[in-house]
Copies of this chain bind each other. A is one copy, B any other.
Amino acid sequence: MALVRRSDRPGLDRLVDEIEHSGGYAAGYIMDAVKEGAIETLIETVESDLGAIDVCVFNLGAQFGNLSLAETSLERFELAWRLTSMALFRVAKSLLPKMVERGGGTLLVTSATAAMRGNKGQLAHTSAIGGRRLLCQALSAEFAPQNIHISHIVVDGAVDSPDTLGRMIGRDRLAEYKHSLGQGKYRLLEPGHIADTYFHLSQQHPSAWTFEADLRTHQDLPWWNSP
């Protein structure tokens, strides 16, 4: 298994170690997805190091928090797009032809509420990942008949992620929020249980593939409901 992140080599190494100690095999890569050629090179490297990529999970997002139009620079607007829509397009250009040659493959794209509707303050994020959702549809229309399963997963809520959400709002506030409704009431999506569904999607038979599934906690209202 290849793990890729933008920074934090020590954190990445710890994760690789954990996987190896539990009997798996993993390799960790540091990559800046907006750098020219970086995605393309990494895919070659991974395939050369570990063998053919059968399942690719694309997790990049561009949630910068709420910013007004005045606060959103052209640079940030472009960065959001480069990190999400353009980065997925580059993955597709590099990886899908290889998968087609090998007879199949799976591309799972982690998406979010902002791919479904544009909220105030989400100008850069919503246009970037809203466009990426339709990119996934167009990719699937071209590649599903060639046995490439593309799936767009709408993670519609906050994830229990000390490294990302925890850094944004503070680890203490995250933990407090997590337990605020009491035992057995989940207000944060747990990564391991998100992974259950990703694993299921990667195992679906070609006679019954899911293109889009949403995921949220039982305590969260979906994006289409207002409180």
Q: Does A34 contact B (CB under 8 A)?
A: no
Given A69-B92, A131-B131: A209 touches B205 (CB 8 Å cut-off): no
- Copies of this chain, how many? 4
A188 to B130, CA, bound (A): 29
**Complex alpha-carbon distance, A89 and B138, angstroms:** 24
Q: Are A216 and B209 in contact (CB under 8 A)?
A: yes
Task: Find the residue from A68, A189, A215 having the highest chain B CB count within 10 A.
Answer: A215
Point out which of A130, A136, A140 has the most chain B C-beta atoms below 10 A from its C-beta.
A130
Interface status of A53 (Cβ within 8 A of chain B): no
Which among A69, A128, A139 has the greatest number of chain B C-beta atoms within 10 A? Answer: A69
Q: A117-B137, A193-B207, A221-B227 are in contact. List 20 more A-B contacts (CB 8 A).
A: A69-B142, A70-B97, A81-B85, A117-B225, A118-B137, A118-B138, A120-B138, A120-B142, A126-B135, A127-B131, A130-B133, A131-B131, A184-B206, A193-B205, A208-B215, A208-B216, A210-B214, A223-B224, A224-B224, A226-B227
Interface residues of A (CB under 8 A from B): 68-70, 74, 77-78, 81, 85-86, 89-90, 92-93, 96-97, 114-123, 126-145, 147, 149, 160, 184, 186, 188-190, 193-194, 196-197, 200, 203-219, 221-227
